[in-house]
């Protein structure tokens, strides 16, 4: 892969040489053209006299390097994306002039041209090590510095950065006519920004372009007035204007909630949120200027699950202003300190400070299910992960770092007490403000406030891999009372640790008045070691259902006693509490994918749940997991019948659903994923929905749903490439270009798959989002005959992809092009052979391949289980 890696040892060695204070003056010229921009960096820093180290820089050209007034030959000093510095003095000044390149991959300074109006939009994305794509820098989190940014840009643009604008001056120069996508011969402006506080380089940011903007302010708890702004593309301004006040309100609620919870007011000078196109992440916590993917600007109807996820994302990035920005990890092994904490506290804030009161059910169905899946892969790792280099960091933005870490923090709050926990967080933030910290620093403060020894807790939960299973066993007395309730904890042989859990057990019975299944009793206890007898339960009336881990207070897999299992399978849809449903459903899904619960029974249970479920994210994940089960896990000789059964039931439920409801909307979209070539009824329904001859009350066929229908039709060869292009010509936007590419790639023909494969691999003009759309379309057609030819091609292409693509594009290709509908026996054989032949390959690359191959191994295992029933 292009670009040099940075090892932890190299970072430690550089940290031992470079000394505070460090200051950067970064001057960017965005008027050079459509391919490159000018970057001049002046860096002042202290160092050990006589030492040598290096700066990071990825640039097309370095024209000048000056070190302490001494001219250095760039052709000698600039090698492999590093600028070698030697003969350093106690106080140093380095100036680097370079020509850097705009990206279309979401890394560094991304350049996007909106086809609907020709406007150009720039934004930066620097996590993990991509500040070096824009300016010369010591690009590691523990070399915090202050920054001054200036940006020369077309006069019609606005420019934003981490700090408020210090000045904007007219510049007499003319831009290159036409190459910027703006007015010919337009004059320029020079934007200068106030000096930042001490911060890590990956948190610096620049956005520029003719963004639409909205402003308000927040009266901070420390008496300051904090300016707030939101921005998006002009093409989305009308749609975004409908939501801006709501999103400002959510953000202000977050300010108040976090300041009260942690006792630390918002620490920075302003707070911008910029919704940007073609983003390769959900959002990024740049200090004072958060960037967010503009799929969160809703120009068409979306699910309630996505609307809630937007709120959680807004609050997640806001939480980072304290946890990650105000206090930053020293090295990427403590990435979880940023992400787990932001994920936990954003869910807490969503549940307690917004209208989304079932946020913990959302977390269970969405985030925790991600954690359980990740934790059962061969690539699982401790929450505090070993990070030897930057490539290790890339692949650890995963379900362990985010979702398992957040689950464990929820358990820790319950373990030490909420008041004690957040007092410890307050002390931690105050003690390490604007500096770097480690896990040991956090645990030290929590031990002081809670009085608990957290080193043993950390060793169990943070420093060891794997997940436990807690199974319930009930003995019933003749009078219907509980004679014994025993919990048995087990662990996978490769990760044998048995953990301490603080959890609750819920007893559930039918309410005679409502017919709902409600909780009638609750027990709270510690679970330690292999066996725990629940003495308090003895003599209590045996309930219809016993839910271990009621309220989802610990992180574990669950197995129910036999009577509870039978009752829940038949009655889960009647459970009154959204979180209880989510916890129980997740256990059934886990049993299904472990080959312990029949796939057909899981499908039927899920269909019953869908007829009544009201929590949108649980609904969404139930649909997704049912699809995986029907397409991959059922016995092959039953698959076609199961798929037809599911499609018929989804269409029936959609027609019975409340008009215009989220349920109706999700059911229609799910139904459109079950098309088969030659299915006349499916084709008639899809065509009819699109042309208006088939209607569902309250269902609006808007832009995005139209494209969902287009892709459903291409996937069964009911729509041609020419028809897709004609549809795009009606309204060519950034989003619709991506939809059109995905629709073309989804066509169920060998020619379409060949086109998509070659486009994804060899068309450098595709943006990151366009590439992902093509890859998703390529792999989405559930026909083994179309996928099978690419099983060998995939593994033959892996090395080339890794060598020739940036990490994010390689990840998109290696995951998106994996032909998961091919015979899993072929995929596992080829994958295992590739891994054996590439034992010395980069760990990050091997991890991507291992996880894909592991999914095929699981498919084989679960199919064989279901074949034997």
What is the per-residue DSSP string for 281-298? Answer: SSEE--TTEEEEEGGGS-
Widest CA span in the chain: 94
Instruction: Examine the domain organization and report whether 333 and 449 are in the same domain.
Output: yes
pLDDT score recorded for residue 706? 98
pLDDT score recorded for residue 1? 38
412 in a structural domain: yes
278 in a structural domain: no
18 in a structural domain: yes
Spatial neighbors of 8 by CB under 8 A, at least 6 apart, are 331, 333, 387, 388, 389
Instruction: Examine the domain organization and report whether 679 and 805 are in the same domain.
Output: no
Q: Which residue has the tokens 């891994």?
A: 835
For 46, other C-beta atoms within 10 Å of its C-beta total: 16
Among 314, 210, 312, 322, residue whose Cα is nearest residue 263: 322
d(CA 724, CA 711): 9
Task: Say if CB 100 and CB 133 are below 8 A apart.
Answer: yes
Instruction: Examine the domain organization and report whether 147 and 22 are in the same domain.
Output: yes
* CATH of residue 428: 1.10.390.10
Among 121, 124, 122, residue whose Cα is nearest residue 135: 124
Instruction: Examine the domain organization and report whether 684 and 828 are in the same domain.
Output: no
In 279-341, which ranges are E strands?
283-284, 289-293, 327-329
Among 15, 22, 81, 1, residue whose Cα is nearest residue 331: 15
Task: Say if CB 436 and CB 332 are below 8 A apart.
Answer: no
718 in a structural domain: no
Instruction: Examine the domain organization and report whether 39 and 179 are in the same domain.
Output: yes
Instruction: Examine the domain organization and report whether 685 and 825 are in the same domain.
Output: no
**Whole-angstrom Cα Rg for the chain:** 28
Task: Among 210, 229, 264, give the residue marking a domain's end.
Answer: 210
Spatial neighbors of 384 by CB under 8 A, at least 6 apart, are 333, 334, 336, 439, 458, 462, 463
Instruction: Examine the domain organization and report whether 690 and 788 are in the same domain.
Output: no
Residue 786 is encoded by which pair of tokens? 């179309």
d(CA 325, CA 76): 36
The catalytic residue positions are 317
Instruction: Examine the domain organization and report whether 430 and 333 are in the same domain.
Output: yes
295 in a structural domain: no
Instruction: Examine the domain organization and report whether 33 and 178 are in the same domain.
Output: yes
Mean pLDDT per 10-residue segment, the chain (869 residues)? 75 96 98 95 97 97 97 96 96 98 96 96 95 97 98 96 97 60 75 98 98 98 97 98 98 98 97 96 96 97 97 98 96 90 96 97 95 95 89 86 94 92 96 94 94 91 96 97 98 95 96 96 95 97 98 97 98 96 98 98 97 95 97 96 97 97 98 95 97 97 98 96 96 96 97 97 96 96 94 98 93 97 97 97 94 97 96
Task: Among 677, 701, 725, give the residue marking a domain's end.
Answer: 701
620 in a structural domain: yes
Contacts 24+ apart (CB under 8 A), 60-64: 60/36, 60/98, 60/99, 60/100, 60/101, 61/98, 61/99, 62/96, 62/97, 62/98, 62/99, 63/97, 63/98, 63/99, 64/95, 64/96, 64/97
Instruction: Examine the domain organization and report whether 789 and 682 are in the same domain.
Output: no
Task: Say if CB 327 and CB 436 are below 8 A apart.
Answer: yes
d(CA 311, CA 300): 17
Instruction: Examine the domain organization and report whether 13 and 156 are in the same domain.
Output: yes
pLDDT score recorded for residue 183? 61
Task: Among 467, 489, 508, give the residue marking a domain's end.
Answer: 467
- Bridge partners of 65, per DSSP, are 72, 96
Instruction: Examine the domain organization and report whether 788 and 676 are in the same domain.
Output: no
How big, in percent rounded to 5, are the helix, strand and coil portions of the chain?
45, 25, 30
pLDDT score recorded for residue 172? 66
Residue 182 backbone phi and psi in degrees, to 5 = -115, -165
In the three-class reduction of DSSP (H, G, I as helix; E, B as strand; rest coil), residue 361 is classed as helix
* CATH of residue 129: 2.60.40.1730
Domain of residue 608: give its range: 598-701
Burial class (CB within 10 angstroms; exposed 0-12, middle 13-18, buried 19+) of 780: middle
d(CA 429, CA 327): 6
Spatial neighbors of 397 by CB under 8 A, at least 6 apart, are 335, 339
In the three-class reduction of DSSP (H, G, I as helix; E, B as strand; rest coil), residue 655 is classed as helix
Number of domains in the chain: 4
In the three-class reduction of DSSP (H, G, I as helix; E, B as strand; rest coil), residue 483 is classed as strand
In 263-346, which ranges are E strands?
271-276, 283-284, 289-293, 327-329
729 in a structural domain: no
Among 591, 629, 602, 668, residue whose Cα is nearest residue 782: 629
pLDDT score recorded for residue 63? 97
pLDDT score recorded for residue 4? 72
The whole-model pTM stands at 0.96
pLDDT score recorded for residue 57? 97
320 in a structural domain: no
């Amino acid at each position: 892969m292009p670009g040099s890696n940075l090892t932890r040892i190299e970072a430690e060695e550089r940290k031992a040489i470079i000394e505070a204070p460090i200051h950067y003056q970064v001057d960017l010229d965005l008027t050079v053209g459509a391919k490159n921009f000018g970057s001049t960096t002046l860096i002042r820093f202290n160092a050990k006299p006589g030492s040598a180290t290096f700066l990071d820089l990825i640039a097309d050209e370095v024209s000048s390097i000056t070190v302490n007034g001494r001219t250095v030959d760039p052709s000698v000093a600039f090698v492999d994306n590093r600028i070698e510095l030697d003969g350093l003095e106690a106080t140093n000044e380095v100036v680097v002039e370079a020509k850097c390149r705009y990206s279309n991959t979401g890394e560094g300074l991304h350049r996007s041209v909106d086809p609907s109006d020709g406007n150009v939009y720039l934004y930066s994305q620097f996590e993990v090590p991509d500040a070096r794509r824009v300016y010369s820098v010591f690009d590691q989190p523990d070399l915090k510095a202050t920054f001054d940014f200036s940006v020369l840009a077309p006069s019609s643009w606005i420019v934003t950065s981490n700090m408020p604008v210090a000045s904007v001056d007219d510049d007499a120069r003319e831009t290159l006519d036409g190459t910027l996508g703006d007015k010919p011969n337009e004059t320029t402006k020079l934007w200068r920004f106030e000096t930042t506080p001490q911060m890590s380089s990956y948190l610096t940011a620049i956005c520029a372009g003719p963004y639409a903007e909205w402003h308000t302010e927040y009266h901070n708890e420390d008496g300051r007035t904090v300016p707030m702004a939101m921005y998006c593309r002009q093409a989305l301004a009308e749609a975004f204007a409908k939501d801006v006040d709501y999103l400002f309100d959510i953000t202000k609620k977050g300010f108040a909630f976090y300041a009260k919870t942690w006792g630390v007011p918002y620490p920075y000078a302003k707070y911008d949120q910029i919704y940007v196109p073609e983003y390769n992440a959900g959002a990024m916590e740049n200090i004072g200027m958060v960037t967010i993917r503009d799929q969160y600007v809703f120009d068409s109807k979306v699910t309630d699950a996505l609307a809630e996820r937007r709120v959680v994302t807004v609050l997640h990035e806001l939480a980072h202003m304290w946890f990650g920005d105000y206090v930053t990890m020293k090295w990427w092994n403590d990435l979880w300190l940023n992400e787990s904490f932001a994920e936990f506290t954003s869910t807490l804030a969503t549940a307690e400070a917004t209208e989304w009161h079932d946020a913990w059910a959302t977390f269970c169905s969405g985030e925790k299910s991600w954690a359980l899946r990740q934790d059962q892969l061969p690539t699982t790792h401790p929450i505090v992960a070993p990070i030897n280099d930057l490539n290790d960091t890339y692949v650890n933005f995963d379900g362990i770092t985010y979702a398992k870490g957040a689950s464990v923090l929820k358990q820790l709050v319950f373990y030490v007490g909420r008041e004690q926990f957040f007092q410890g967080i307050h002390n931690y933030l105050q003690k390490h403000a604007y500096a770097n910290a480690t896990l040991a620093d956090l645990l030290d403060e929590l031990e002081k406030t809670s009085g608990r020894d957290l080193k043993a807790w950390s060793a169990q939960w943070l420093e060891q891999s794997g997940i436990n299973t807690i199974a319930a066993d009930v003995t019933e007395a003749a009078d219907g009372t509980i004679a014994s309730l025993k919990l048995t904890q087990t662990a996978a042989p490769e990760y044998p640790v048995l953990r301490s859990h603080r959890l609750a057990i819920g007893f559930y019975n039918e309410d005679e008045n409502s017919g709902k299944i409600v909780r009638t009793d609750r027990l709270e206890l510690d679970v330690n070691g292999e066996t725990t007898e629940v003495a308090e339960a003895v003599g209590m009336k045996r309930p219809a259902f016993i839910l271990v881990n009621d309220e989802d207070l610990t992180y574990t897999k669950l197995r129910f006693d036999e009577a509870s299992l039978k009752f829940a399978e038949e009655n889960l849809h009647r459970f009154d509490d959204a979180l209880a449903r989510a916890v129980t459903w997740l256990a059934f899904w886990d049993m299904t994918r472990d080959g312990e619960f029949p796939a057909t029974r899981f499908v039927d249970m899920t269909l019953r749940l869908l007829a009544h479920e009201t929590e949108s994210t649980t609904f969404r994940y139930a649909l997704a997991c049912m699809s995986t089960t029907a397409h991959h896990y059922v016995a092959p000789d039953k698959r076609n019948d199961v798929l037809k059964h599911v499609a018929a039931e989804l269409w029936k439920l959609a027609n019975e659903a409340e008009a215009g409801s989220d349920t109706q909307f999700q059911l229609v979209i799910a139904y459109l994923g079950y098309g088969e070539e030659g299915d006349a009824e499916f084709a008639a329904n899809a065509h009819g929905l699109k042309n208006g001859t088939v209607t569902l009350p309250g269902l609006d066929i808007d832009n995005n749903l139209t494209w969902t229908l287009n892709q459903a039709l291409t996937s069964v060869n009911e729509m041609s490439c020419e028809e897709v292009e004609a549809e795009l010509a009606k309204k060519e936007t950034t989003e619709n270009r991506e939809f059109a590419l995905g629709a073309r790639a989804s066509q169920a023909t060998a020619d379409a798959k060949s086109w998509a494969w070659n486009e994804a691999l060899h068309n450098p003009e595709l943006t990151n989002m366009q590439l992902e759309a093509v890859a998703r379309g390529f792999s989405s057609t559930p026909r083994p005959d179309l996928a099978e030819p690419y099983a060998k091609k995939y593994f033959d292409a892996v090395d080339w992809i890794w060598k020739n693509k940036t990490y994010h594009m390689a990840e998109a290709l290696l995951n998106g092009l994996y032909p998961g509908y091919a015979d899993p026996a072929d995929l596992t054989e080829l994958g295992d052979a590739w891994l054996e032949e590439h034992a010395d390959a980069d760990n990050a690359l091997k991890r991507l391949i291992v996880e894909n191959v592991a999914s095929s191994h699981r498919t084989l295992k679960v199919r064989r289980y279901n074949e034997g029933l």
